[in-house]
Structure 1
């Protein structure tokens, strides 16, 4: 019995080590306003693999950033109308189980999946957003904690005070990546003219590609 337990613990340890040593995947998002590079988190494998699969299939290249709200988010992929209840989904469109990791939060530049108000907080597989947000004071963060029953670490508080983000979305939407190069793209996209609903006057198309390790090294080096 003791030998079985030791073998099981060894197996678990090896898997944890392998997971922690797994290299991150990176994708590049190009728009009329410029480009950015996003690191996909290994801690959210379902969302990571879904995004890579759709990217390789060229899915996002047929979509746009259709909802641009300065100081909040830049949203793209599919519009809300494509997954309203009662409508038939395309094969690529499905619900992903939430992967809510407390250490992955909505700081400026974070990339997360959209959803409706479903109780399981499942993500819609083809709609994502990039966080713009704003900076927050400790008093404001205290209010967010009280309202949403969420706790921010000292490190997260410091980021929200200095870098900014959308802390009220933490614990409710799956964050699966972050911009690691080209953060200025957020400012450029949020500078475009939009209507009262955040719909841009001119199409903000996107081209999304998966970078190879060599491409990643080169683009992050320059």
Structure 2
């Protein structure tokens, strides 16, 4: 076996490649890439992990939202209305659980001063006083005859005196106000009751005592000066 001379060994050692050194900037760059990839994977994991929860939260409250919306609407409705007349003021408690369409319409008409100057068109003693947009000569006579014929019946609270309601006639564009002055057995068949007089019953009775003609129309005009909405009853 031939021996390699020292001079040749020196030449071979010079021709061998030295190990490649990784620069500091390359190390930093790769570290940043690794960190960014890790953060991206973590963000993707969190997104897909929480997505079902978010979708559930977005879908489930819909029914609750409707309920809350209705509750908030009820809460925002005024609780009382004050009817000013030439005889004095009548305070009504508005039933928030009554027909929403009727209550909302009544409130809207009050805000637009619809009832300002509206006359009481019919006054029937021991029955009702009526103010509104329609002519109820025939209906009023029919009511009073039926009321007299019915006699004493067992009545629910909604049939008591001093209730306020409007006629069940969705085809008409106007709005009637009826205040009962005596219990009416078949009241729910005639009116949508949406409130009760809590102050000023004596004023209702004074209006009830005015002179009327054979059609139950007051001989001396008397009507509503204005209706004011309140959140709290006047003391």
- Given the superposition, is the C-alpha separation of residues 177 and 17 from structure 1 closer, same or farther in structure 2, using an over 3 Å criterion? same
- Counterpart for residue 109 of structure 1: 162
2:120–2:130 CA contact under 8 A, matched in 1? yes
1:69 to 124, 138, 155: 124
- Counterpart for residue 154 of structure 1: none
- Counterpart for residue 40 of structure 1: 94
Aligned pair count reads 161
For residues 173-220 of structure 1, the C-alpha deviation after alignment (integer angstroms, 9 at most, x for no partner) is: 21111112111122101111011211111001212222343xx44xx2
- Please identify which structure carries the higher helix content: 2
2:176 to 122, 127, 146: 127
2:82–2:91 CA contact under 8 A, matched in 1? yes
Asked if 1:182 is matched to 2:200, the reply is yes
TM-score (norm. length: structure 2): 0.57
2:168–2:190 CA contact under 8 A, matched in 1? no
Instruction: Give the 4+ runs in structure 1 shifted more than 6 A.
Output: 3-6
* TM superposition shift of 1:78: 1.6
2:133–2:174 CA contact under 8 A, matched in 1? no
Superposed, which structure 2 residues align to 1:1-222 within 5 Å? 7=61, 10-11=64-65, 14=68, 18=72, 24-43=78-97, 44-80=99-135, 105-115=158-168, 125-133=174-182, 165-213=183-231, 216-217=232-233, 220-221=234-235
1:114–1:123 CA contact under 8 A, matched in 2? no
Q: Superposition RMSD on alpha carbons, in Å?
A: 3.1
Higher RCO (C-alpha under 8 Å, 6+ residues apart): 1
Distance 2:165 2:125 in 1: 16
Distance 1:42 1:185 in 2: 24
TM-score (norm. length: structure 1): 0.60
Q: Which runs of 5+ in 1 are unaligned?
A: 82-102, 134-164
Instruction: Please tell me whether Structure 1 or Structure 2 has the larger radius of gyration of its CA atoms.
Output: 2
